[in-house]
Each structure stands twice: as C-alpha cells, then as structure tokens.
Amino acid sequence: MKIALAGTGSKLPSKILTNDDLSKIVDTSDEWISQRTGIRQRHIIGEDENLVSLAFEAGKEALRSADIEGKDLGLIIVGTSTQDKRLPNTACELQPLLGAKDCACMDVSSACSGFIYALSIAYSMMNTLDIDYALVVGGDVLSREMDWTDRTTCVLFGDGVGAAVLKKADIEAGFLSFDIGADGSKGFALYDNSYGDDRYIRMDGQEVFKFSVRTVPNSIKNAIEKAGVNKDDIDVFLLHQANLRILEAVSKKLEIPLEKLPHNLENTGNTSAGSIPLLLDEVIKKGIAKKGDLILLCGFGAGLTWGSCVLRL
Ligand code: ACO
C-alpha cells in the first residue's frame, strides 16, 4: 500500500501589506526588499482571523478536493510554531470544526520545515496505525511574533496556511522518500524566545543564508537518491519560500533550471510552515504540477531544521 496525496487546500488572510506600506513603518524601501528577497507583498491576519480560522478554511478545501468528509479522517497533524493557544493543540481545535471525531491530533513544531516533518510523521503513523486518511496542515501567523520596528526581520514574513489530505491506496502514485534532519547547534541563527525579556523573532540573516545554500542541496540530493530516481526525472521542485536568492543559489548549485522551481514568495512573503503547502496547492490548481508528475518538496528553517521528500502525484 502506498501513501498518496489525495487533495490540497490553502488560505491566506485578506489583509495585504506591500513593501511600500512597510516603508511607512520602518526605514526600508520596495527596492531594497525586492532586490534582496524577491518579496513584494505579504498577507497579515486581521482582528477576526487566527491560525485556527485559516487552518479551518485550508483544511475544509483540502477535504473537498480529496472528496472525503471530516469523519473519514484518522489523523490530523498541524506543522506550526505559532499556535493560538498552548493548550489544546491546533489539531484538536480543528477536529470538531472539520467534523472529525476521535482521530489522533497533534502539532509539530519545526518552523519552516514543519510541513515536511508533519508529512513524514503522518506517513509513518498511517502505516503503523493503519489509518486510511490523514489531514496534514502547515501554517504560521508570524505577524504576531514580529518586532514591527526591526527592519531586518519584519519585511521578510507573512501569514498563511496550506493543507493536504493523504490517503492509503493501492496505486502507483505516492511518497517515495523522506530526508529529515536538524542542527541544533545553529539555533542562535533564528529564534523566538517568548519566555525571555525579548519576545520577538531575531535572526542572523547571513548565517541562515549560508545554512540554506549548503544544507538544502544536500537534503534534496539525499531525498532523490533514497527515492531511486534521477534529478532530471523530477518535474517540479517546491522549495520553502524564504528568499528568491536562495532559490537561485540552489538551482545553480544543483544545476536545475530555475523554471522547475516555481515561486509565490513575491505575493506571500515567508509564511514559514505554510509556504510549501500553499505553493503545492497553487501549482496543482494552476496545472503546473499534474497527475503522474514527480515532485520534490523541501523545507528549511529555524532549529536549524530541514526536510525533503519525493512524491508522485
Ligand atoms: N531595508 C533597508 N535596509 C536594510 C533592511 C531593510 N529591510 N534590512 C537590513 N538593512 C540594511 C542593514 O542594516 C545593512 O546596513 P549597513 O550596511 O548600513 O549596516 C544593509 O542593509 C545590509 O544588511 P545585511 O544583513 O548584510 O544584508 P544581506 O545582504 O545579508 O541581506 C537578508 C539580508 C535579505 C536577510 C539576507 O541575509 C537573507 O536573505 N538571509 C536569509 C534569511 C531568511 O531568509 N530568513 C527567513 C527565515 S529562515 C528561513 O525561512 C529559512
């Protein structure tokens, strides 16, 4: 039996903050932000939105696209670092909203790699617990963790959530490999110590950049090797949407044409655990990734953590 992707969904908050809007809050410019990152705007939650409300919309859409109902779910996992509450977890909050009952519910905190970590856990649990359908959600509302006076961080991030339904099926498609890892000794490069004096996200941008262009190609190579396929067989590479320059560096290092690395960071900013499922949903809706295509997903971020997987749609 294979574990396959059965449907996807996504939700971005309605409020948009452009680079020009930000230049009225901090000493920055559209030119600086777009040249260094590729980002032009990001979506930010309004007063009536939070992680659960976005995850509910994304989850509902993923269930609809998989043609199943909440009651069919045996598992809900949410990859996030920005829960609305410490208890109960986000997955438990989603369960009754989606009409699911009695299924296992958990959150996974692995920052921008959270969706890939959550997929790999869902994959394992579906096999060991004989679960037919799982909902895997990835998303963050980092605007709540932002120091809106710090131009080195507040221009980079946005809010958003994506979701995927996985199903157990006797078909050729499905997940072929995972490569997951972390280097905790580099935790200083990106942290958010809510219990300390300073409760905002802080980052050593250059350290994160160096880590990304070194670790991401290795993780991608490992996942491809474990899947027993060739790099050229991969139709689409969906990488965490942190920065266009990171995507360009990875494409150059791995000798993959940049056209195979679709991106939406110009519209969303860095949505942390939301970025890969948001992009996955978008490329499927636009027909950029089609049934039968071989796709690679790769997340990387605070921890420092990373995770890649190969699947056939
Ligand atoms: N607007 C204008 N100027 C700015 C801004 C801003 N928003 N932010 C920093 N600057 C200034 C700095 O103060 C500095 O000025 P100085 O030379 O007078 O001291 C100058 O710009 C250069 O700053 P650097 O930090 O050296 O700029 P760099 O070229 O490294 O670009 C950036 C910064 C874009 C953050 C880059 O390091 C990067 O992309 N790093 C990756 C970080 C990342 O993507 N993090 C996301 C979270 S982690 C993840 O998702 C993987």
Token pair for 165: 């339904």
Digit-coded pLDDT (tens) for 204-215: 989 999 999 999
Q: Residue 193: is its pLDDT beyond 90?
A: no
Q: Ligand 1 centroid vs 146 CA: distance in angstroms?
A: 15
ipTM: 0.94
pLDDT of 195 over the 90 cut: no
Task: Count CB atoms within 10 A of the CB of residue 228.
Answer: 10
Classify residue 107 by its DSSP letter: E
State the pTM of this model.
0.96
Q: Quick one: average pLDDT of 31-41?
A: 97
**Integer Cα distance of 5 and 312 in angstroms:** 8
Q: Are 281 and 298 within 8 A, CB to CB?
A: no
**Does the annotation mark 43 as catalytic?**
no
152 CA → ligand 1 middle, Å:
5
CA 245–ligand 1 middle distance (angstroms): 12
Q: What is the pLDDT of residues 73-109, one digit of tens each?
A: 999 999 999 999 999 999 999 999 999 999 999 999 9
Contact status, residue 266 vs residue 278, Cβ threshold 8 Å: no
Q: What is the mean pLDDT of the chain?
A: 96
pLDDT of residue 13: 98
Domains in the chain: ranges and CATH? 2-169 (3.40.47.10), 174-312 (3.40.47.10)
> How far is CA 117 from each of CA 13, 27, 182, 199, 292, rounded to the nearest angstrom?
24, 36, 11, 25, 24
Q: Is 181 in the pocket of ligand 1 (CB under 6 A)?
A: no
CA torsion, points 177, 134, 106, 49, in degrees to nearest 10?
A: 110
The minimum-distance atom of ligand 1 relative to the CA of 211 is 51
Q: Is the CB of 110 inside a 6 Å radius of any atom of ligand 1?
A: no
